[in-house]
Amino acid sequence: MTEINRDDVAHLARLAHIDMSDAELDRMAGELAVIVDSVKSVSEIAGPEVPATSHPIPLSNVLREDVVGQLLSQEQALSGAPDAEDGRFKVPAILEED
C-alpha cells in the first residue's frame, strides 16, 4: 500500500487551508492510501509517447472589446460577503502580530 501517513495528510490539509481534527487525519490517511493505490494504474499505460490532453476541445483565448459592459455593481459584488466596510471586503489580519 502507498505510504500516506497522518503527517502527510496534515501537510496536505495545511496546503488546502482546511483545519482537521486528529480523528479526521487518521481516517483520511487510510482512505487516501487506498484511493491512491487504486489510481496508480494510470501510469501503467501512459508512456512517454502518449501526449497529454488537458481539455476535450482545443481552447483559445476569448477576448471582448475593451468597452464598459454590464458588470456587477459594487453593492452586488459585496452582497454575499461575510463582512464589508466602506464599499470593500473586510478581511481578518493578513499578518500575525509578533
Partner 1 sequence: MNELTKLSADALASKLAAGEVSSVEATQAQLDRIAEVDGDIHAFLHVNTEEALAVARGIDEKRAAGEELHHLAGVPIAVKDMIVTVGQPTTAGSKILEGWHSPYDATVVKKLRAAGMPILGKTNLDEFAMGSSTEHSAYGPTRNPWDLERIPGGSGGGSAAAVAAFEAPLALGTDTGGSIRQPGAVTGTVGVKPTYGGVSRYGAIALASSLDQIGPVSRTVLDAALLHEVIGGHDPQDSTSLTDPCTGLVDAARQGALGDLSGVRLGVIKELGGEGYQAGVEARFQESLELFRSAGAEIVEVSCPSFSYALAAYYLILPSEASSNLAKFDGVRFGLRELPKDGPLTIERVMGATRAAGFGEEVKRRIILGVYALSAGYYDAYYGSAQKVRTLIQRDFDAAFSQADVLVSPTAPTTAFKFGEKMADPLAMYLNDVATIPANLAGVPGMSLPNGLAEEDGLPSGIQLLAPAREDARLYRVGAALEAMHEAAWGGSILDKAPLLNGASAGNTPQLHTPDLGGK
Binding mask 55-74 for partner 1 (x = CB under 8 A): xxx-x-xx-x-------x--
9-22 per-residue burial string, b: 16 or more CB within 10 A, e: under 16:
bbebeeeeeeebee
Cβ–Cβ < 8 Å for 7, 25: no
Q: Is 50 in the site for partner 1 (CB under 8 A)?
A: yes
Residue 17 touches partner 1, criterion: CB under 8 A = yes
89 and 78 Cβ atoms separated by less than 8 Å: yes
1 binding partner 1? (CB under 8 A): no
Q: Which amino acid is at 15?
A: L
Applying CB under 8 A, the residues found at the interface with partner 1 are 4, 8-9, 12-20, 24, 28, 31-32, 34-36, 38-47, 50-57, 59, 61-62, 64, 72, 76-77, 79-83, 89, 91-97
